[in-house]
Amino acid sequence: MVSDSTEGSNEDADQYDVTIWEERTRLDHLAVGVSQVIVRWWVALAAIIGALLVAHPLVSIRTE
């Protein structure tokens, strides 16, 4: 019978956590590159939207 008890084990260590991931294949490199591009575009889009939201009230005050 298999027991799921954690007696004698280190409860602080997560046995299923990935701590290191190395790019090994071309597909890994492609996946990393694509994800970096996507993150950069989302950050740039968020910055542009934020700047527009901040600038909009300033522009409307000047035109009144």
Rounded-to-integer distance, Cα 11 and Cα 62, Å: 61
* pLDDT reported for residue 47: 96
DSSP assignment of 31-63, as one string?
HHHHHHHHHHHHHHHHHHHHHHHHHHHHHHHHH
pTM recorded for the entire structure: 0.53
Q: pLDDT tens digits for 2-56?
A: 555 555 555 566 667 776 777 889 998 999 999 999 999 999 999 999 998 888 8
* pLDDT reported for residue 56: 81
* pLDDT reported for residue 12: 60
- Tell me the domain boundaries of the chain: 26-64
User: How many CB atoms sit inside 10 A of residue 46's CB?
Assistant: 10
